[in-house]
Amino acid sequence: MSSPYATHPEARENVFDFLQGYDVLGAFWTTVKLTVFSAVGSLVWGTLLAAMRVSPVPLMRGFGTAYVNIVRNIPLTVIIIFTSLGLADIFGVTLGASDFKVQGFRLAVLGLSAYTAAFVCEAIRSGINTVPVGQAEAARAIGLNFSQTLRLIVLPQAFRAVIGPLANVLIALTKNTTVAAAISVAEAAALMKTMIENEAQTLSIGAVFAFGFVVLTLPTGLLLGRLAKRLAVKR
Amino acid sequence: MTEVSVAKEEVAATGDLVVLKSVNKHFGALHVLQDVDLTIARGEVVVVIGPSGSGKSTLCRTVNRLETIDAGTITIDGRPLPQEGKELARLRADVGMVFQSFNLFAHKTVLENVMLGQIKVRKADRKQAEVKARALLDRVGVGTQADKYPAQLSGGQQQRVAIARALAMDPKVMLFDEPTSALDPEMINEVLEVMQQLARDGMTMIVVTHEMGFARSAANRVVFMADGRIVEQATPDQFFSNPSSDRAKDFLSKILHH
């Protein structure tokens, strides 16, 4: 069987022709940016939430618990759409963006951070529970206050214990960025949808995007796994 | 205000360092400390002994408020123990504590363990803190281990580092909560020797221990506790050769007969 293209090479130069005219790399770059900004945001906010959940102040503990239990139980799609239709359209929160594209991106980062922080918080809290009570007692015994004890002694050891679980959260976050398509952020999944509508090679398009996500997430998992082993606290 | 506090300091300087007055504590239904009165003078070494569950560790931990008390008062250097917060943190810095399980900061080197409190609590600069930390580590005989992590040290070495970490804060009084109970027998002496040296240097010490040899050689006074009460207090000679209470006689007969 000879290829139908053999006699007309100019008709089809290769099997990836369907990618022509689409900025696939650009779309994945948006995915990467969404992931990185949201990862930083959720790590900071999640750590603060974890600190609240172990603090001696009942009001903070209550807030932390309520936040986690509400936010992690709302579908991400609902949260992302709320940032656009609720925060932006009704309350006028534009996050300092002048054009619609930038505003969508920033709102998506906000929604993803708020959502992922709940999971980061719980991962870190379980890490805090792996740190022996004696560590905090010794810290208090030399005169460190609550926040110093947490920052200098407990959290550094807790983080090292939960690098694995945090890698899971980060991988989930990378894939969750696809929900930003719901508020028209031009990331990978949004482009995939457009391409599937316009091109015939549905399976190939799906495979390309699936491969793209694996390329992003697989090294994350492997790298953090190795880091977890190297930084493990020896007792 | 200042006059009052100066006057207090003067009184304290001549008087007692740690004073517990009718201290009571419950763990649920268990009455672990029952009307405990105890006074420790400056420079005194007090060894607290007694059967397990007698409340001696709890007593030790109440002095820097790692355990709260339900009733009674505890004063250190003439000042009552403050509530949780800045004041309490400041007070704890003045009270050195050595734990049964060492509790060295596992993610920091030996040197960093001894420097941390100086830098973060006493606000010393890094250079000075390091010089002092190395001197203290030499003093307790682990100077060569400064750059290792706690898990790389033997139990005896870890406990000596813990003592150095407490000494780095220039404490007014040192609390030892069964410092040798988690150690292999051949490492007990290296820790006791450091403690004996401290006692000779005039450090005020409260030591909860099962080491009767240490009590005999280093203590000014032995406090015998049972069932949450102080049953007997005496000099080591008097206590070990001629205990006055039946409870103490019974306890000593069980531990000294082999």
Provide block-wise average pLDDT over 10 residues at a time, chain B (258 residues): 39 72 92 94 94 92 92 91 86 94 96 96 95 95 95 95 96 95 91 93 94 92 94 93 92 79
Q: Are residues B183 and B234 in the same domain?
A: yes
In the numeric block, the tokens 């290792």 are attached to B148
Chain B environment of A127 (Cβ under 8 Å): none
Inter-chain CB pairs, A–B, below 8 Å:
73
* Residue A198 confidence (pLDDT) above 60: yes
Q: Which pLDDT does position A168 carry in this prediction?
A: 94
Residues B226, B176 within the same domain? yes
pTM above 0.95, yes or no: no
Q: Which residues contact A33 (CB under 8 A, 6 or more apart)?
A: A105
Q: Which of A137, A142, A234 sits opposite B121 (nearest CB)?
A: A142
CA-based nearest residue to A115, from A41, A54, A185, A48:
A41
The string of pLDDT tens digits covering residues A84-117 is 888 888 888 878 777 888 889 999 999 999 999 9
Contact, B77 vs B17, CB < 8 A?
yes
Does position A199 have pLDDT exceeding 90, yes or no?
Answer: no
A142 and B99: CB-CB below 8 Å?
no
User: What is the reported pLDDT for B12?
Assistant: 42
Q: What's the number of domains chain B is made of?
A: 2
Residues B197 and B138 both lie in one domain: no
Asked if the C-beta of A162 comes within 8 angstroms of chain B's C-beta atoms, the answer is no
Instruction: Based on the fold, state whether residues B182 and B151 are members of the same structural domain.
Output: no
Q: Return d(Cα A208, Cα A213) in angstroms, integer.
A: 9
The per-residue pLDDT for B146 is 95
Whether residue B247 sits in one domain with residue B189: yes
Instruction: Please state, in angstroms and as integers, the Cα–Cα distance from residue A147 to each residue in A51, A54, B113, following that order.
Output: 9, 11, 18
Residue A12 has pLDDT above 70, yes or no: no
Strands B173-177, B204-208: parallel, antiparallel or unpaired by DSSP?
parallel
Q: Do B223 and B254 sit in the same domain of this protein?
A: yes
Which pLDDT value is given to residue B108? 96
B235 plus B216 within the same structural domain: yes
Residues B90 and B136 reside in one and the same domain: no
What whole-number distance in Å separates Cα of residue B109 and Cα of residue B130?
12
- pLDDT, residue A19, reads 83
B19: phi then psi, degrees, rounded to nearest 5: -125, 120
What's the CA gap between A85 and A77, in Å, rounded?
A: 12
Do residue B232 and residue B164 come from a single domain? no
Residue B17 lies in a domain: no
Query: B152 - beta bridge partners?
Result: none
Which of B140, B170, B200 delimits the end of a domain? B170
Confidence band of A233 (pLDDT split at 50, 70, 90): confident
Alpha helices in chain B (DSSP H): 2-14, 56-62, 86-93, 110-120, 126-139, 155-167, 185-200, 212-218, 236-241, 246-255
Contacts with B227 (C-beta within 8 Å, 6 or more apart), sequence order: B34, B54, B55
A58 close contact with B: CB closer than 8 A: no
Range of the domain at B57: 43-68+80-94+172-258
- Is residue B244 domain-resident? yes
Last residue of one domain, picked from the residues B116, B147, B170: B170
Residues B158 and B204 in one domain: no
In CATH, what number is assigned to the domain containing residue B90? 3.40.50.300
Which positions 158-187 of B are in contact with A (Cβ < 8 Å)? 162, 165-166, 169
Cα–Cα distance measured from residue A5 to residue B93, given in angstroms and rounded to the nearest whole number:
82
Question: What pLDDT score was predicted for residue B257?
Answer: 63
Q: A235 touching B, CB under 8 A? A: yes
Q: Considering the domain boundaries, does residue B54 fall inside one? A: yes
State the residue for tokens 């890698």: A167
Report domain extents, chain A: 23-231
Same domain, B84 and B176: yes
Q: What is the complex's ipTM, to 2 decimals?
A: 0.88
Which residues lie closer than 8 Å to B117 by C-beta, 6 or more apart?
A: A142, A143, A144, B93, B165, B168, B169
- Domain boundary residue, one of B137, B170, B203: B170
Report residue A8's pLDDT band, with 50, 70 and 90 as the boundaries. Answer: low
Distances (CA, A) of B99 to B76, B88, B147, B175: 20, 19, 22, 8
Q: State how far the alpha carbon of B150 is from the alpha carbons of A7, A228, B104, in Å.
A: 74, 19, 6
Q: Which fold has domain A23-231?
A: MetI-like fold (1.10.3720)
Of B85, B97, B106, the CB nearest to A233: B106
Confirm if B25 and B63 have CB atoms less than 8 A apart. no
Only one residue has tokens 């709320």, namely A82
> Quick one: tokens of A204?
């190939």
Residues B177 and B255 both lie in one domain: yes
Contact B103 A137 (CB under 8 A): yes
